[in-house]
C-alpha cells in the first residue's frame, strides 16, 4: 500500500471531523502504520485532544508562513507511531497570509511538507469547516478526501456542495484527488436516522463507507480524558466502529477500490 494523505473535511462543523481524525490516526498507529496528524483548524481541538497545545512552540502557522521548518514543529504523541503537526489559535491569520501571496498560494502546505511526506504511511489532515484557502491547501496536498456526515436533512445537499467544490479542485489544483468515502457519524437507530442513512448509502454522488459511527458517550468522554478511544474505552462501540473504519480504509487502499463496493 502506498503512502496516503487524507483530508478529513465537510461543509459544516459538528459532524465529527476531529473525532474521526484523532481516533482514526490512533488506531492506524496502533496497527503499526507510521501516522502524522496535521491540525489545520485554528480551534486546535486535535492538538488539545493529545494535551499538546502550546502556542509558544512551533506550529502549523509558522510552518506555512515559512518561519519554521516542518521538522521543528512536528511533535510525538504518547502513542507509538503517531506524531502531530500541532495547530494554534493564530492559524486564523493564515487566510490573510495566503491571500497576500501572489503565486502558488494553494500549494503552500504541499511545499512546506516536502521533507516529511515520505516519512509516514498516513498523513491525516483535520480541516476546519470554514477557511477556503486552508481547505484548498489541504485538498491540493491530499490523495483522498474523507467526508464525515451526520444523517440529517442537510446531508445530501452537503454532498452536492462538496461535489461542486471538488470539481473545481480537480480542474484547478489537484487532478488526482479522489473521494475515499462518506462516513456516517453520530448514528442512532431511530426511524429518521435510519431513513437518512439509507439515503446516504444509496446516493451516487460519492461512495459511502459500510462502517457507521454510532452515537457513543465514550467518544465524548474520551475527549475530556485527552485519550483516543482505543486507549480510553477499548470495548466501547466507539472503538469498535473506528477500528472497523480503519480496516475498511486499509482494505480499500490495498485493493485499489474506493468505489464503496465490496
What are the pLDDT digits (tens) for 78-122? 999 999 999 999 998 999 999 998 789 999 999 999 999 999 999
Among 4, 43, 10, 6, residue whose Cα is nearest residue 152:
10
User: Quick one: pLDDT at residue 189?
Assistant: 87
Would you say residue 259 has pLDDT above 60? no
Predicted structure pTM score: 0.94
Residue bearing the bigger pLDDT, 5 or 162? 5
Would you say residue 242 has pLDDT above 60? yes
SS (H, E, C) the chain: CCCEEEEECCCCCCCCHHHHHHHHHHHHHHCCCCEEEEECCCCCHHHHHCCCCCCCCCCHHHHHCCCCCHHHHCEECCCCCEEEECCCHHHHHHHHHHHHCCCCHHHHHHHHCCCCHHHCCEEEEECCCCCHHHHHHHHHHCCEEEEEECCCCCHHHHHHHHHHHHHHHHHHCCCCCEEEEEEEEEECCCHHHHHHHHHHHHCCCCCEEEEEEECCHHHHHHHHCCCCHHHHCCCCHHHHHHHHHHHHHHHHHHHCCCCCCC
Average pLDDT of the chain to the nearest whole number? 92
User: Quick one: pLDDT at residue 261?
Assistant: 43
Would you say residue 222 has pLDDT above 80? yes
Q: Which three cell numbers stand for residue 37?
A: 496528524
**Domain covering 4-142+218-253 in this structure, CATH number:** 3.40.50.300
pLDDT digits (tens, 9 = 90+) for 5-63: 999 998 777 889 999 999 999 999 999 999 999 999 999 999 999 999 999 999 999 99
The DSSP bridge partners found for residue 173 are none
Arithmetic mean of pLDDT, 236-260: 87
Would you say residue 252 has pLDDT above 90? yes
Arithmetic mean of pLDDT, 161-166: 91
Dist. CA 104–CA 107, nearest whole Å: 5
Q: Residue ranges per domain, the chain?
A: 4-142+218-253
Amino acid at each position: 500500500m502506498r503512502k496516503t494523505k487524507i483530508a478529513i473535511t465537510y461543509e459544516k462543523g459538528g459532524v465529527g471531523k476531529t473525532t474521526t481524525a484523532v481516533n482514526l490516526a490512533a488506531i492506524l498507529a496502533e496497527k503499526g502504520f507510521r501516522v502524522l496528524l496535521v491540525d489545520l483548524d485554528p480551534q486546535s481541538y486535535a492538538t488539545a485532544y493529545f494535551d499538546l497545545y502550546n502556542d509558544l512552540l512551533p506550529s502549523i502557522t509558522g510552518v506555512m508562513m515559512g518561519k519554521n521548518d516542518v521538522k521543528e514543529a512536528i511533535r510525538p504523541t504518547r502513542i507509538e507511531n503517531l506524531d502531530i503537526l500541532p495547530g494554534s489559535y493564530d492559524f486564523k491569520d493564515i487566510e490573510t497570509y495566503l491571500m497576500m501571496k501572489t503565486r502558488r498560494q494553494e500549494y503552500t502546505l504541499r511545499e512546506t511538507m516536502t521533507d516529511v511526506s515520505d516519512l509516514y504511511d498516513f498523513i491525516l489532515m483535520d480541516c476546519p469547516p470554514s477557511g477556503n484557502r486552508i481547505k484548498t491547501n489541504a485538498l491540493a496536498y491530499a490523495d483522498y478526501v474523507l467526508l464525515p456526515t451526520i444523517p440529517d436533512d442537510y446531508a445530501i445537499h452537503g454532498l452536492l456542495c462538496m461535489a461542486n467544490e471538488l470539481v473545481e479542485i480537480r480542474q484547478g489544483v489537484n487532478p488526482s484527488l479522489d473521494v475515499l468515502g462518506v462516513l456516517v457519524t453520530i448514528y442512532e437507530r431511530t426511524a429518521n436516522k435510519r431513513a437518512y442513512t439509507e439515503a446516504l448509502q444509496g446516493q451516487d454522488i460519492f461512495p459511502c463507507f459500510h462502517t457507521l459511527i454510532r452515537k457513543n458517550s465514550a467518544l465524548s468522554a474520551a475527549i475530556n480524558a485527552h485519550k483516543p478511544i482505543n486507549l480510553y474505552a477499548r470495548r466501547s462501540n466507539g472503538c469498535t466502529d473506528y477500528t472497523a473504519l480503519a480496516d475498511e480504509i486499509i482494505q480499500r487502499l490495498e485493493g485499489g477500490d474506493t468505489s464503496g463496493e465490496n
